[in-house]
Every structure is written in structure tokens, then in C-alpha cells.
Amino acid sequence: MNGRGRTKGRPQKQAEKKTKKIDARFTEDEYEIICEMEKTLGLNKTELIRHRLLNDAGLLMVNAKELIVLLDEVGAEMGRCGNNINQLAKYANILRKRGIPSPVVIERFNILFTQYLKNQQALDASLRRVFRMAGA
């Protein structure tokens, strides 16, 4: 033997033992939502409800799959806006090289680019809020 005594039974848990139980009833629709959240978040129903009630009572639980899909859509839309701005800038440069400056094109470019920058700043602020909520 290695000098250690034999241990009997399962080792004692360090955390406080959970002895209290709460029963709750849900409609079929509510239960399906809980089951979907269970699959999406990778938590069992007990952990999901305990986590939501005790840890995040005032916070939002983020559905990671849905968030990624929405971020992908927003990124694609921002890319399309950027492409439109680039095409407009290219057209303005062609007109400038030919000696036909177009105040309408330049004005439209300035309006679109200003709006694009505002949208980009709003998106950045929204993402920071989501990241703070998810990481808290």
C-alpha cells in the first residue's frame, strides 16, 4: 500500500448541499421555449432556471446563435452600404478627371457617408452594450 488509508464512499462535496425544491408549472408553449433555451445555451432546465433567477435577475440572457445570425446580417448590410459609397466615390472621381464636377454627386456622397458613419457609431455602441451584458 502507499500509506494512505482507504476512503469509503463518495467524496464530500465542497459546495453547500441543495435540499430545497421549488415546483413550477408551465404551458406547452412556455415549456417548448425552455427546452429550446436548454438546447441553445447548453444548460439543463434546472441550471437554466437557477442561473436566470439567481445570477441574472436584472440582466438579459443572450441567445448566442440568434445574436451571431443578426450580427452577420448587420455586417452584410454595412458591407453593402460601404460598396454603394465606394461606387459613388468612384463615379465622382471619374467625373472629376473628365473635368465635369457634379455637385449633386458630391452632395449625395457626403450625405451617405455621414449617415454611414452615424450607423457605424450606433452599431459600435450597441455591440459594446451587448458584450457588457453578456460578460457581466
Q: Residue 3 pLDDT > 70, yes or no? A: no
Mean pLDDT within 21-31: 89
Q: Which of 117, 114, 92 is nearest to 104 (CA)?
A: 92
CA dist 2 and 76 (Å) reads 64
Q: In this structure, are residues 106 and 114 in contact, taking their beta carbons and an 8 Å threshold?
A: no
pLDDT higher than threshold 80 for residue 14: no
Cell numbers for 136, please give them.
457581466
48-61 tens-digit pLDDT:
888 777 775 555 56
Where are the domains positioned within the chain?
24-61, 64-135
Greater confidence (57 vs 20) lies with 20
Q: What is the pTM of this model?
A: 0.46
